[in-house]
Amino acid sequence: MTARIFAAVDIGASSGRVIAGVIDAGTTTLHVVHRFANGASAVDRHLRWSLTDLYGEVLAGLRALAASFPSVESIGIDTWAVDYGLLDANGNLLSEPISYRDNRTDAVIDDVHARVDPQAMYTVNGLQFLPFNTVYQLAAEQRSPDWGRAAHIVLIPDLLAYWLTGELRTESTNASTTGLLDVHTGRWATELFENLGISEKLFPTLDQPGSQRGTIRPEVVRFTGLSPSTVVTTVGSHDTASAVVAVPVSGTRFAYISSGTWSLAGLELARPVVTEDARRANFTNERGVDGRTRFLRNVGGLWLLQESLRSWAREGRQLELHQLLEEARGVGPSTKRIDVDDVKFIAPGDMPARISDAAGLSTSATPAEVTRCILDSLASAYRHTVHTAGELAGAKVETIAIIGGGSQNSLLCQLTADESGLPVTAGPVEATALGNILVQARSRGAAPSSLEEIRQTIAHTQLIQRYEPRL
């Protein structure tokens, strides 16, 4: 059998990549053809992504893809969740999308909760409260000059797919992070739209992972050199949904931590849990591939470390991550910890000072000490989140699977095993791209049909490290 080739465009909050996946005799081998940085910056009074630049990087990546893998059949796109762009009636982007880390929702959250009681909202959308859920961003947007001209609200991966194919849709796993999807039916929650004064028609039609979005436009063919028959296939376009496809564990007795800018920690369930206890513990029921439920919490994540590194760099201290982690291992356990979920850590800027202040570290704490405090705090938040998830869902957890870029942080993986008392698997590093690629491949008959079989294949063919808890 000849090898089949699929590509993932996977863009996280801190970096993006275009990756080719070559599937040969049941093994998927990933080749990164293009990597680029991502981040939001202050433009026109808001923290914004430059989606125009990101689209340029996607095209550059697809050109590199065509040069090395001309027989690629299909492309899948995933990015971070909740954010969107507004298009006018002619399909033009009204302005660069505002980042979820912008503080514009501070002024509207009470107003939204006055229109829809948060308890009642949870029973419909099953979503954890995060100040940046799309529903709050749209409430802020309703007061902006762009709102009157907006004809379409398009989630970020769907916007990239629109530019590549000309087709407008809303992918359902990502739609589940808006706060406007009914967690029980997987359809738009019409009553929520009505109560918030937003027209449901602003969102393009819902689309499921595995369906064909469209073929690439002639301009894209000309620029990239890809074949005109190349299609864009809808995948779990919420990056976390694609990542969870690629956990290297089968069965049901595992928790996952998708570790990157955020740490998304929780369980995969057959059905949502929208009890009052789950709401109080701020657990979300996001939609997974194949209609599964991602019952999880957003834990602060490596953003704390990324932002600290940026602050130290601004002070002239260019620290190398590997070296810093080795030094953090050497300083030993931190007795002072922070609540990594505190909303005060969401915004960018001067992170080491904010952490030292919250933890009660001395002002002369070294970068290694601050780093150790972050990692110990993350590991204890993971233990607590995994334990609570199991209790709320009545599920037994026997293993924790850490996936994503943070799975390379061996100190954090070991601390997670030690704190939780559970064995930890670490990897795949590019779980999101792998999940993206395998969902495309499955829809075209090149990968097994069940998520369980896909996960077994991943466990046998990808690089996975193991950490046992130390007493």
Name the residue type at position 343.
V
Q: How far apart are CA 19 and CA 435, in angstroms?
A: 12
CB-CB contact of 33 with 68 (8 Å): yes
Among ligand LRH, ligand ADP, none, what does residue 134 contact (CB within 5–8 Å per kind)?
Answer: none
Position among 3, 14, 32, 101 found at the interface with ligand ADP (CB under 6 A): 14
Among ligand LRH, ligand ADP, none, what does residue 264 contact (CB within 5–8 Å per kind)?
Answer: ligand LRH
Q: How far apart are CA 239 and CA 237, in angstroms?
A: 6
What binding mask, one character per residue, do residues 295-334 give for ligand ADP by CB under 6 A, x or -?
Answer: -------x--xx--------------x-------------
Q: How far apart are CA 350 and CA 129, in angstroms?
A: 25
If phi > 0 it is left, if psi is from -120 to 50 it is alpha, else beta; for residue 126 that is left
Question: Measured from the CB atom, is 100 or 162 closer to ligand LRH?
Answer: 100
Candidates 41-49, 160-168, 335-343, 399-407: pick the segment binding ligand ADP (CB under 6 A).
399-407
Contacts of 248 (CB under 8 A, 6+ apart): 401, 403, 425, 427, 428, 455, 458, 459, 462, 464
The residue behind tokens 């125009």 is: 52
The residue behind tokens 């991550």 is: 321
Position among 4, 6, 12, 77 found at the interface with ligand ADP (CB under 6 A): 12
The contact set with ligand LRH (CB under 6 A) reads: 12-13, 80-82, 100, 238-240, 260-262, 264, 298
Question: Measured from the CB atom, is 220 or 305 closer to ligand ADP?
Answer: 305
DSSP annotation string for 1-40: ---EEEEEEEE-SSEEEEEEEEEETTEEEEEEEEEEE---
Among ligand LRH, ligand ADP, none, what does residue 409 contact (CB within 5–8 Å per kind)?
Answer: ligand ADP
The residue behind tokens 């607590």 is: 384
In the region spanning residues 408 to 467, those forming contacts with ligand ADP, defined by CB under 6 A, are 408-409
Regarding 15 and contact with ligand ADP (CB under 6 A), the answer is yes
**Dihedrals φ, ψ of 160, to 5°?**
-65, -40
Question: Measured from the CB atom, is 226 or 246 closer to ligand ADP?
Answer: 246
CB-CB contact of 324 with 331 (8 Å): no
Rounded least distance, CB 260 to ligand ADP, Å:
3
In the region spanning residues 215 to 274, those forming contacts with ligand ADP, defined by CB under 6 A, are 260-261
Q: Is 182 a catalytic residue?
A: no
Candidates 8-16, 186-194, 219-227, 365-373: pick the segment binding ligand ADP (CB under 6 A).
8-16
Residues labelled as active-site residues:
239
Binding site for ligand ADP (CB under 6 A): 12-15, 260-261, 302, 305-306, 321, 404-406, 408-409
